[in-house]
Amino acid sequence: MGLKKATIIDGKEFSSRTNQSLLPYVELIVEKIGRPPALAVILVGEDAASLVYVRNKVKQTKDAGMVSIEHQLSAETSEKTLLSLIDTLNKDDQIDGILVQLPLPDHINENSIINAIKPSKDVDGFSIPNVGLLSTSVSGLIPCTPLGCLLLLKSYVGDLSGKSAVIIGRSNIVGKPMAQLLLNENCTVTIAHSKTKNIEAVCKEADILVAAVGRPNFVKSEWVKKGAVVIDVGINRLPPEGDKKGRLVGDVDFNSVSNVASAITPVPGGVGPMTIACLLRNTVTAACKRRNFNEPEM
């Protein structure tokens, strides 16, 4: 008998279901205030990956029956000009969510920009007030990628209480908020990082392993406990081979780990689609919160 392969956790299919679940809330908002939720997206410069990502966000926002308003600014735009635009959008009652696409040009301070966004419109969930709400288990706007990971985990595992979870990576965007979300679900959580000793042994204790380190094929099968659920957040492009464009891979060695794990997210098609679905979810949540409407449940 051959090894049983892990179940593939299909982020594309689940993101489609997530988007469908938002439609009744969008319809309610239209019924109550006469317009759908509106998301303002700001892109500074012409970073190729950011352009593609923003295009996908805009398309899916419109497909979900919401309004997308794009502000594309030149790479030379000053920090003062960008802050002025954010201030205008903060004050605009027609705008429910504001997203500034990262990375920003070097002359603009990302923290200043992120924290200039009104917390109730901060659909990325990166501002200090929203980080504080999450860390104290109070309902706020949650960073999209960790939220997408959590929804995928709950769809496959169900109740996460008592599970041992290891997160590889301690970024403010994924690692730290992911740890807090799993703590809120009553997991026992460890964050592993570049200074962790015996990282392989630490990872092998995990019932749930989340890899968000930005290193292609970093996690090997020997690191993974048999039957663990593996969430691969990484998106890395390998060097081109001949005339072929380098393929996308995650932080997990998919081929070997899928022989050990009980379930695993693919790259592409796993966490990525859920990030955009959760951006739409956050926009709907922001629109509902501002008006004390019932909001989408976890």
Catalytic-residue membership of 197: no
Q: Of 114, 93, 91, 99, whose CA–CA distance to 68 is shortest?
A: 99
Active site residue 94: no
Catalytic member of 101, 180, 232, 251: 101
Looking at the DSSP bridge assignments, the partners of residue 108 are none
Token output for 168: 């590889």
* Residue of 57, 118, 176, 225 with catalytic role: 57
80 assigned to active site: no
Q: Which residues sit opposite 248 in a β-bridge?
A: 237
Q: Which of 96, 121, 122, 124 is catalytic?
A: 124
- Identity (one letter) of the amino acid at 53? Y
How far apart CA 141 and CA 131 sit, in angstroms, is 8
CA distance 213 to 229: 17
Between the alpha carbon of residue 297 and those of residues 3, 10, 25, 151, 264, the distances in Å are: 38, 21, 11, 11, 24
Catalytic residues: 57, 101, 124
